[in-house]
Structure 1
Amino acid sequence: MHAGLRGGLRGRGAVFDADPPGLAPRLVGLLPFQHGSSPYEHPKELPFVVFAGGRGLGKSALLDGLRDAYRGRTPVALIDCEESQFAGPLMDDRPREAWSPVAQALLTIAEQLAEPVTGAGRVPFPRLAAGLLAVAAGGWSDRDVPGIRQETERILLLNGTGARVAGSAARWVGRVSVRLTAAMSGTGPVAEPIIEAALEAFSEGVSPTHRRLRKAAYWYRDYPNAGGSPKLGLILVSGQLRAGGGSRAHAEHHLVRALLADLDDAYTGALQRPHRLGRPVVLVDNAHTAPGSALVGSVLRHRAEGIADRVAFFAGLRGQGHPALRDAVRRTLPEVARSSGWTPDTSISSRALLVPLSPPAPDDTRK
């Protein structure tokens, strides 16, 4: 076990060990706190790992440790689903029905995953940016134009420029935000004219920024009932999220797919970087609350439908009886030290690997 681990992680060598590799390096493909690679235990489909148990067992410390172990070497994101940003919209005049904790979580995750890592460039998220922009537009009014421009710029920066980038890319984002707010009539629904203005802006120019967003917009032409129209697909995403219930869940599920598709492009598509090693890591703490439960369920469903992704997901869950995990493969922490023993069946929740935590002891994984 790595000597740099904090005291709260003693006895967690089943997750962090390097020789032989523990659970994390076998799933991520990289040794923790080091620059070496590790063989994959699951080279194709991998389990969604859920660390479960009551308060005080170190679930949050374990996820923090995973972030520290891989940050700067592979894209890593950590969200705590109990944070206030997931409780309601940040803009005072945003209708709650036009805001989604899942959409907010995806924005926060993508911003962290887009941070540069050693030997590779930023991961762009054009599909997710297009979808989040459509969702945001469903709640805009002309009462807070500065706030709308700020939100637009935050979303569009997911397209690969990054929050700290200046120059032509940042100026283009600023121009687009001005153009979108100008499309607001001040009366009636604004989502459709804003989406139309965004698509027009994406279609102009030949820079990588324009090309990525053009391709991303066309991805939404396959949205159910869009009839091959990217514009209608994005309008449906926006409208269904506002509708609530099953329609909202469907729109959120598609936004999760957008995040995974963008990551897939970064690792295997035309945008693949030759030095991008291992897998991206997404860490979801307090996953028993929104948006965690919906996010976990959506990823499991995609995998059960045969839609592969290359993301190493780890979550912390209070308790062990979540309905979405009733068929999860269950293993103790010592049992996963050298092999997960995970094989899914036909059920959705079998794509999860549930690992109950007990109070750590230094020799837990060395018996």
Structure 2
Amino acid sequence: MQDDLGFDRLLDDDGFVARLLGRTRSGRQRKPLYGPDLPVVFLVGGPGMGKGRLLGCVRHDFGRFVPTAHLDCGAPAVTERVAQRPELRSEVTEALREMALQFGKWQGTGGALPAPRLYAGLLAVATSDRRSSTESLVSEVREQDGLLPPGTFWRGVLSRAVRGYLAALGGLVATPAAVPIISAVLDELLARMSREGTAALKRCYGEYPGAGGSPELGLHTLAAHFQQGGQGRENAEKFLFRALREDIEAAHTSVTGRMTRVGRPALLLDRADNTLGRRLTRAVLEDRERGHHDRLVVLATARREDGGRFLHPPGHADEGRAATWQPADGGLPTWSRSPVGDPGLASPGRGALLVRMPLLTRDQQEREIARTQGSVGTGAGGQGLPVGPGFPGSGPSRLRVETGIRRLSGGRPLFVSRLAEATAAFRMPEEGSDWDLLDAPAGTRDEQEEHAVADVLLDDLVVRQLPEELPPEQREHWLDLLSHLSVAHDADCAQALMRERQAEREERLSAYRIAELLRDCGWPHCPRHFIGDLGLRHLLARRLYGTRAGGAAWREDHTFLRDRLAGEEEGAPDALFGTAAAHRMHHHLAADGAGNGHGAPGAEAVTNYLARTFYTRETRDWCGELLAIADVPLLGGPDDRRARALGAGGTRGGAFHRRVDKLLHVVWLCEDRARTVDDAVTSTLRLLLERLSDESEHGAEVLTRVAGEWSERAGNKQALLPCACTGHIR
């Protein structure tokens, strides 16, 4: 995928990132957005929305002109370093150390950014465990030396102290110290530092709670709090992060910094909605809420649209909700910290700006498909340009591939790119649909076999992005559970299905908990479908169908849900389907709806039901039930729906019964979001509804109005029964 695809309004010379950092991608200066009080910017969007890709663009392009550090908060490297010496390290200390090392390697205008304040704090932590041997503590102290870049002012300031305490430590290794090693290290450090160094540490660690202006006491207390664990350690970690930001601020406000440094430095936190990321961003939010301002631009990624639950803890003021901005809105986001009565009760979200990651527009999707597949496509204006080498043509098959990609992806960038790559040489079968696209080979992920693009997408979007709070014993079952839930609609159905499918397991997940975990992963919600993203639902349904021969698992799930409703009275109300009977018919059609050339048993039963209830239901309710029943994908078996819709292969019964059967198949095709319906089918829709109006004295007006509404939607390629996950389809 083109790295900056879809980011035009974010990355251009007058875009959000350039104005936030004060520099363009080419290094030109721009007036920075906001004042000294900066928001923490969260790039929010679910899996495959390009959050990490955007951070990569900022790091690669803007990182040449402003100091930039990048940290993947979900990477195992931090955890692995902590595991080596957990008594002296934490995820936060190792993350801060990595940030400082990256800032210390900055080679642009103004040179490296040293971190002497953080260095002193990490020295205190490195020598804080009285149970560790002197040798291990000395080794840990020497681990911190990389935080002071050679040739910098601070390296010179601390050089005497470094030589002094290392000499002292050498003696301690030979002869065990009578005093804690932390005292020896800090005494040497503070005694041998220059006046400027001592003043800097006093301003920083003298402000540590309980220090009373003494940097030595502040460092000792910080180290003791770190060893306490729990809230004490968390407070120490927050202060260490403040120390690093003060180092960065000092590098920009010094005489040399003011003359040489232009723009704001950036900290890029990928996967910042996990534990480590939340600790880091919360520290910045709380400090800035209390007036500790700095110029560090923090760009963090989060999958939930609201940035994450930690931004909106219960019991905090509602006026502290995070501001939001979408690039499609145009302009630049305005942000300022609104007044609040008690800052201690304000939501952390008050200091956040949520930037919603943009979906690809239709034009952007066409350009990406064309770029990937070797053609420029037709474009919004319909201009046909030459096809590239090896491109399999730009006829009807190619157009159906492109529209299928748009339907399945919904503009999700990773979905678009994966499908475009996999279908570069794909020819759509004459009676094919989007399900065929998902079977296209996507290349190898290992040396053994080639994988279908659907399996690669599930790996990208689900397996590699498991919910943080998913219990370890459920990780290997997560994809299976979601696959079963692809057939469910409301939470009650989903819960019944989960009880059935996990009956043999000791550890189970409820559907309600799964819904929470899906929201935490950033997947959208649809009131009509438990899996609220059309593309993800198709991936999971395809996987479920292929789990067992002949789609047995798919049929069993639908049959279970159908039979679960068998005890309900036919007219019992149902929130999504109108009645329990209509809900039952929906699953019956899904379980046994594949055509066989002579009419599918599932479709026959539904036709009989609709014909029987036409005279007993209110006409508007009857039409609603028809739409809800027919909103079901067809998997497996020959597809004779078009023939049935146009009157071929008729069903048993009289003219009215045949008319209802044709209407069912027309609506079924129109509601099938996996294919484009031709004009012959859509033009039949109005005719059938108007003919049915002859059968109802009291419903003729309703049917005539419905005929107009439905035929207009069908003509515009819209769903007859709109919902949140199909609204993008045109």
The TM-score, its normalising length taken from structure 2, stands at 0.44
2:217, 2:281 → 1: CA distance? 28
Q: 1:299-324: CA deviations, max 9, x gaps?
A: 01111111111011101112234123
Residue 255 of structure 1 pairs with residue 240 of structure 2: yes
1:355/1:56 CA distance change after superposition, 3 Å: same
2:274, 2:295 → 1: CA distance? 24
Q: Is the 8 A contact 2:103 2:114 kept in 1?
A: no
Residue 110 of structure 1 pairs with residue 100 of structure 2: yes
Alignment partner of 2:268: what SS? Answer: strand
1:283/1:143 CA distance change after superposition, 3 Å: same
Aligned to 1:342: 335
Alignment partner of 1:44: what SS? Answer: coil
Q: Is the 8 A contact 2:41 2:352 kept in 1?
A: yes
Q: How is 1:46-57 mapped onto 2 (pairs within 5 angstroms)?
A: 46-57=38-49
Q: How many residues align?
A: 346
Q: 1:267-325: CA deviations, max 9, x gaps?
A: 12456341100010100001011321011011011111111110111011122341232
Q: 1:208-231: CA deviations, max 9, x gaps?
A: xx8436632563122111233322
Aligned to 1:301: 286
Tell me the amino acid that sits aligned with residue 299 of structure 2.
Answer: F
Counterpart of 2:5 (choices 4, 10, 13) is 10
Aligned to 2:324: 330
Aligned to 2:71: 79
Tell me the amino acid that sits aligned with residue 125 of structure 2.
Answer: V
2:203, 2:40 → 1: CA distance? 30
Aligned to 2:273: 288
Aligned to 1:351: 351
Alignment partner of 2:64: what SS? Answer: coil
Aligned to 2:168: 179
Aligned to 1:98: 88
Alignment partner of 2:269: what SS? Answer: strand
1:168, 1:254 → 2: CA distance? 23
Post-superposition shift, 1:173? Answer: 4.2
Q: Is the 8 A contact 2:267 2:298 kept in 1?
A: yes
1:218, 1:255 → 2: CA distance? 14
Q: Is the 8 A contact 2:66 2:263 kept in 1?
A: yes
Post-superposition shift, 1:54? Answer: 1.7
1:178, 1:114 → 2: CA distance? 25
User: Once structures 1 and 2 are overlaid, which stretch shifts more, 232-241 or 81-90?
Assistant: 81-90
Q: Is the 8 A contact 1:37 1:278 kept in 2?
A: yes
Alignment partner of 2:260: what SS? Answer: coil
Aligned to 2:582: none
Alignment partner of 2:259: what SS? Answer: coil
Tell me the amino acid that sits aligned with residue 13 of structure 1.
Answer: D
Q: Which has the higher contact order (CA 8 A, sep 6+)?
A: 1
User: Once structures 1 and 2 are overlaid, which stretch shifts more, 345-354 or 237-246?
Assistant: 345-354
Q: 1:114-169: CA deviations, max 9, x gaps?
A: 22333312212111111111112124766583x65554334234234379x99998
Q: Is the 8 A contact 1:149 1:178 kept in 2?
A: no
Q: Is the 8 A contact 1:241 1:251 kept in 2?
A: yes
Alignment partner of 2:182: what SS? Answer: helix
1:204/1:63 CA distance change after superposition, 3 Å: same
1:338, 1:199 → 2: CA distance? 54
Aligned to 1:3: none
Counterpart of 2:219 (choices 187, 211, 234) is 234
Aligned to 2:568: none
Post-superposition shift, 1:205? Answer: 6.0
1:224/1:144 CA distance change after superposition, 3 Å: closer
Q: Is the 8 A contact 2:67 2:108 kept in 1?
A: no
Tell me the amino acid that sits aligned with residue 204 of structure 1.
Answer: R
1:282, 1:175 → 2: CA distance? 34
Aligned to 1:38: 30
Q: Is the 8 A contact 2:43 2:354 kept in 1?
A: yes
1:155/1:149 CA distance change after superposition, 3 Å: same
Aligned to 2:16: 23
Residue 194 of structure 1 pairs with residue 182 of structure 2: yes
Post-superposition shift, 1:61? Answer: 0.9
Q: Is the 8 A contact 1:57 1:358 kept in 2?
A: yes
As a proportion of its length, which structure holds more helix?
2
Post-superposition shift, 1:11? Answer: 0.9
Tell me the amino acid that sits aligned with residue 280 of structure 1.
Answer: P
Alignment partner of 1:284: what SS? Answer: strand
1:129, 1:362 → 2: CA distance? 50
Q: Is the 8 A contact 2:148 2:155 kept in 1?
A: no
2:170, 2:45 → 1: CA distance? 47
Post-superposition shift, 1:171? Answer: 9.3
Alignment partner of 1:41: what SS? Answer: coil
1:109/1:275 CA distance change after superposition, 3 Å: same
Q: Highest Rg: 1 or 2?
A: 2
1:45, 1:214 → 2: CA distance? 25
1:169, 1:362 → 2: CA distance? 58
Q: 1:316-363: CA deviations, max 9, x gaps?
A: 11223412323211112323x531122332433211111222433486
User: Once structures 1 and 2 are overlaid, which stretch shifts more, 166-175 or 147-156?
Assistant: 166-175
Aligned to 1:63: 55
2:87, 2:141 → 1: CA distance? 19
Tell me the amino acid that sits aligned with residue 332 of structure 2.
Answer: S
Alignment partner of 1:316: what SS? Answer: strand
Q: 1:167-193: CA deviations, max 9, x gaps?
A: 9987974664453354467589x7x43
Q: Is the 8 A contact 1:342 1:353 kept in 2?
A: yes
Q: Is the 8 A contact 1:127 1:262 kept in 2?
A: yes
User: Once structures 1 and 2 are overlaid, which stretch shifts more, 242-251 or 110-119?
Assistant: 110-119
1:52/1:111 CA distance change after superposition, 3 Å: same
1:340, 1:298 → 2: CA distance? 23
Tell me the amino acid that sits aligned with residue 355 of structure 2.
Answer: V
Counting aligned pairs with the same residue, the percent is 29
Aligned to 2:304: 319
Alignment partner of 1:307: what SS? Answer: coil
